[in-house]
Chains A and B, each alone.
Chain A
Amino acid sequence: MSILGTRVVRTEDPGFLTTGAVYTDDVVDERLAGACHVFFVRSPIAHARITAVDTSAAREAPGVIAVFTGADLADLAPLRPPMPDLVDGRMAQPLLARDVVRYVGEPVAVVVTEDPYQGEDAAELVSADYDPLPAVVDMTAAADDPPALLFPEAGTNVTATFGDAAALQPGLFDGCEVVVSRTIVNQRVAPAPMETRAAAAAWGDDGRLTAWIPNQGAQGTKGALAAMLALDPSSLRIITPDVGGAFGAKFGADPEHAVVCWVARQLGRPARWSETRTENMVAMTHGRAQLQTITIGGWRDGTVTAYRLEILQDSGAYPRFGAFLPALTILMAPGPYAIGRAEAVARSVVTNTTPVGAYRGAGRPEATAAVERAIDLFAAEIGRDPAEVRRKNLLPRFTEPHRTAFGAVYDSGDYVTALDAALDAAGYASLREEQARRRDAGDVTQLGIGLASYVEITGGGAESGAPRENATVEVHPDGSATILTGTSPHGQGHATVWAMLASEELGIPVDRITVKWGDTDLIPEGGGTGGSRSLQQGGVAVQQASRELLDVARERAAAMLEANPADLVFEPERSAFEVAGDPDAAVPLATLAAEERLVVRTVFIAPGATFPFGTHVAVVDVDTETGKVVLRRVITVDDAGTVINPLLAEGQRHGGIAQGAAQAFLEEVIYDADGNPLTATFADYPFLSATEVPSFELADMATPTSYNPLGVKGIGEAGTIGATPAVQNAIIDALAHLGVRHIDMPASPQRVWQALQDVPAGKDA
């Protein structure tokens, strides 16, 4: 009986549920004994010159060991933007601000105390003088008419461009019977994992640094820290404790992590830091933040013939991975549709706001949200059912790789089947009937039905480098096994699924297989976890390593049994090699590890990225008097290839759907005109609770990919990609009969109400 495809409960859970997982702030280790505590002083102003930082009062406060400012860190390198070929490398963030602060929350000084409570007391006594500069908050102004340049030496606030705006064809929409254009917002959101950032650092007598940091890949964190601290990578060891969620915002390292490590070296004692939620909301990278001009054209029969996407990406004050994300948005711009003529361009600009990084989906939700809004605008303009317009324009089923005009090679796709399955599961026809009934009756609460068909790219994101991953599998003489993986789970359940994959090959029970990750001394190489790469690269590597281990074991078994290796059969049920036809002539796998270690390390190299796809249907109630939206149902088809553990795959879909839906009608990071954040706590930022979402309805579809033996693609981000536009489209659909054509996200009650007020005035043009 194959274990693959079965609902195996997680091996991680008993510990997580009883004593709790061990997050960085929980780590108890003799190397951290006597640690001092680090607390950051942060800029209260969005853009200013720092004229003085007075730490004298803070130094006298109870328990204060030291206070450091930017001047003390002059030897350290700044945090440089990624992709230096694409993003202006001069726009680098000093580890502590020196002459200029560029966002509210930027670290300016650091207070080190004996006891954690004393840090906040002392930080209040650090007195910095700021000479205000004009705050650049609006991204359009930042690009085209800036009140100030964040980096005068760059001569512009534009940090990157993608595509060639001069090459956009003025005649792209010639011949279209209908053309619709609109500028829409894909708003800034906060990843807000439940665990904020943290670090614990200790320097050994051997001069090596050991740092415990929650991250999405210890190897990437090591590289980032080595660069900032000007260290030879061999002198750093990164240990990844349990991580309380990441969603793209815990890749690599942030300035604060480097400062904590530096403090530990400077003071000659271990140092620890744990961020408050308010700090996290302003100093962990944000997500999304694109302004999109979508133009779509075609014929009245529903055929889309042309599409253009122009993107302005807000990078925040210092370009991080977010500055690069428009490249992925452009790559996926046409989505699953066969659009004859399509083009896309983007610019990334810096503003006096929190830097923008990756956030679940990282550039692809933005692409899907844009084209799905465009499809619905087009459908509304020609008066056709949005489901029919999608069906008409989706690429027909293909099994051989399909290259798009944007250079993406979709490995396999069956988009119409996914659409039909989702509509069927939703009971689409009945929903439209109910909607019609409520419209005729003029009900206060109207029903909205929204769709989103998507294709997305997984396992090929540039953040994880070339599509490859390593795995080491070892069988021990006692019959247990250990797996070393280069992935870095933070809730995805790799400990269970990698064990399942090895168990399938080796016949060792899942609960006798230990999976390890996130220690750079143990596993020097690895691509981490992000971009939904882990199963299709890391998991496949585990399967590959297990098979290669059996090849090694076979030779040993043959020698031991004095048989021809070709005459041996491996029986997973017994976890033993047998001579074919003679079950008594057998040797257990574990025995073959008794004299010599039985261990194999392998690297799986994927042929390329894979492209999961699906359709989401959202059903909402909209109170036309108050504007309040209630999410009633979300029905999804998410095809990410073969499903190895349905229980875990469903969990990934649920979580993504909730986050995606939340962007559509709840979440938004808001700044005032001076760059002051207005949503910097969980009381102000509308993080959703269980009462705001229903139970979700997941339909199954699995089209294997030919790119790996398991046939798997990546499922982790599908939910955010499909749910956001489905819910947004549903809200607008609820009010379409009243003349509403668009509502920007989040569709807050105020925005919904305002859209209804604007219709009679003809403002919704």
Chain B
Amino acid sequence: MRIELTVNGARRSDEVEPRLLLVHYLRERCGLRAANVGCDTTSCGACTVLVNGRSVKSCTMLAVQAAGQEITTAEGLAAGGEMHPVQEAFRQQHGLQCGFCTPGMVMAATGLLAENPHPTETEVREGLEGNFCRCTGYHNIVRAVLAAAETMSA
């Protein structure tokens, strides 16, 4: 069936089968491969994108459910060649190592800060409970989100 939606500000119209997962639609049909598939139980969050500004695990959403919605991926955060403050903070704080969880982590953090612009460390950790990282031990990820919060509220 045909769906129409907006991805990173661009309108799209695609023919999809009902069971196509949003994450695969983004990766294979839109060529936006930053979002990754890390599990099959909606646990790890590596596939996190924003749907109408809210963080969602795109592996647990059908592309057909996204019809008429606005999707933002990590590729859509950077504007005009400049990284988004959350992305820049991840770099400055060494909040990524292998990078596999990173786009999802960045989108979850962006969604978190949109809802809570001044989180405490505990609120950051709880806000990222749906995003797994095996490399960093979360220490620098938390610092990155707190640093981004400061930059964005300045």
Contact = CB atoms under 8 A, between A and B. Distances in A.
Given a CB threshold of 8 Å, the question of whether A touches B is answered with yes
Interface stretch (A205-213, A486-494, A744-752): A486-494
A659 B134 contact: yes
Nearest to A196: B38
22 contacts: A17-B96, A18-B74, A20-B35, A20-B36, A20-B103, A25-B37, A26-B27, A242-B98, A274-B37, A654-B136, A654-B138, A654-B139, A654-B140, A655-B137, A682-B41, A689-B128, A689-B130, A690-B133, A690-B142, A695-B139, A695-B142, A695-B143
B21 to A, nearest CB: 9
Given A25-B36, A245-B98, A651-B140, 8 more contacts: A17-B83, A242-B99, A277-B44, A492-B97, A655-B136, A682-B132, A689-B128, A690-B125
Nearest to B98: A491
Interface string A14-41: 1011111111011000000000000000
A9 B39 CA distance: 29
Interface in B23-78: 27, 33-44, 46, 74-75, 77-78
Contacts of A117: 17, 19-20
Given A21-B100, A193-B98, A691 B129 contact: yes
Contacts of A274: 37
B113 interface: no
Contacts of B138: 654, 658, 689-690, 693
A681 B97 contact: no
Contacts of A648: 94
Interface of B: 17, 19-20, 27, 33-44, 46, 74-75, 77-78, 83, 87, 90-92, 94, 96-103, 106, 121, 124-126, 128-143
Contacts, number: 182
B107 to A, nearest CB: 11
Given A20-B34, A690-B124, A13 B139 contact: no
Contacts of B134: 192-194, 245, 247, 655, 659, 687
B38 A493 contact: no
A737 to B, nearest CB: 29
Contacts of A25: 33, 36-37
B137 A16 contact: no
Contact of A687 (B42, B43, B78): B43
B30 to A, nearest CB: 12
A682 B42 CA distance: 8
Nearest to A657: B137
Given A9-B91, A244-B99, A20 B44 contact: no
Given A194-B44, A681-B39, A687-B132, A654 B137 contact: yes
Contact of A26 (B19, B33, B97): B33
A434 B38 CA distance: 42
A709 B31 CA distance: 46
Contacts of A355: none
Contacts of A300: none
B94 A647 contact: yes
A717 to B, nearest CB: 13
B56 to A, nearest CB: 18
Given A276-B40, A693-B138, A491 B97 contact: yes
Nearest to A656: B137
* Highest count of chain B CB atoms <10 Å: which of A278, A688, A689: A689
B91 A13 contact: yes
Contacts of B74: 17-20
B127 to A, nearest CB: 9
Contacts of B129: 689-691
A648 B17 CA distance: 44
Contacts of A12: 99
Interface in A182-238: 192-196
A671 interface: no
A505 interface: no
Interface string A475-512: 00000000000000011110000000000000000000
A194 B34 contact: no
A277 B42 CA distance: 11
A308 B105 CA distance: 46
A21 B102 CA distance: 9
Contacts of B101: 194
Nearest to A493: B97
A673 interface: no
A491 B99 CA distance: 7
A706 B2 CA distance: 67
A18 B138 CA distance: 20
B125 A683 contact: no
B40 A278 contact: yes
B94 A9 contact: yes
Contacts of A90: none
Interface in A626-677: 647-648, 650-651, 654-659
B62 to A, nearest CB: 13
B137 A658 contact: yes
Interface string A319-338: 00000000000000000000
Given A14-B91, A654-B140, A690-B141, A194 B133 contact: yes
B131 to A, nearest CB: 7
B34 A691 contact: no
Interface string A266-282: 00000000101110000
B27 to A, nearest CB: 8
B34 A19 contact: yes
Nearest to A27: B33
* Highest count of chain A CB atoms <10 Å: which of B38, B90, B121, B129: B38
A233 to B, nearest CB: 28
Contacts of A243: 98
A162 interface: no
Nearest to A492: B97
A601 interface: no
B100 A18 contact: no
Q: Which 8 A-B pairs have the closest CB atoms?
A: A244-B100, A20-B34, A658-B137, A491-B98, A491-B97, A682-B43, A654-B137, A16-B99
* Highest count of chain B CB atoms <10 Å: which of A16, A25, A247: A16
Contacts of A690: 124-126, 128-129, 131, 133, 138, 141-142
A633 B90 CA distance: 23
Contacts of B34: 18-20
A650 B136 CA distance: 9
